[in-house]
Structure 1
């Protein structure tokens, strides 16, 4: 926290700040709260920030900020049988927030040969908690706002890329851009 205070005090628009797992040793709610507050302070300072976190909630709470872009590292899961599970961390950056339905911890527990009844109970609890969380998110107005803002930011990026880099003939470019219209309409329904 002392380092975070120093960074907040010294950050300028010319600063590059890299934060890895802020709030890791705190209770989850406190960790999300302090991480969110520090991230907002850094956003206000207009510095360039890489913010690595296991608090997936931040992808929603901070996505209201137009300058925030969510990225994650892709993971490849292989499963030939229940006994032959593998996880490969690809170190490839992918656009968007990670999939909340993937339980890498449970997969790693299986690789560690935890008893099957422990794994089954862990998977059951994790699935139930994910379903409860999904219901809460569906009802959340801030979630709807975040989804719309993400759609608009994605549209901006797609239009800019089409404008700057497209070599498509006019008819194909128009068809390509019309698909954006459909996607953005879905986000605002």
Structure 2
């Protein structure tokens, strides 16, 4: 079965459309515990996700289907600004799911853009998985991999470098023009 998920957050709430040949609309709700004065759970209440949840929780609901689908079926998932609205630990966990060969048995791939410099770390990504884009003064964009980068002496970037610090200091380019 080939599933395709489409999400839309609008005035009528979060809608997740799952295409399985026939469109099926799935309403998203979250369940919260209700506590008494002593902190004991005395019940539960459903809330529409778009009304009672943080922007990060809404984004997780939006991308959960495509994430599971990609990993389960070995697909490529492309996400613009994966880190937007998500806690850095959650972003790292999502990346880790794709990097874990035991969990990602079908070889799914995650391609994402980010502004989270904390991810520029060999602990989370290999050098060949880190790519930079740099606009020139004519607004043309160059795309290059960290593994292709050479310093002034012609040496490749070593695995023990602090890539995040080097990036912030302009070593790899891809820094926005500030004028």
**Shorter-chain TM-score: what band?**
0.3 to 0.5
Q: Give me the TM-score of the superposition, normalised by structure 2.
A: 0.42
Higher helix share: 1
Higher strand share: 2
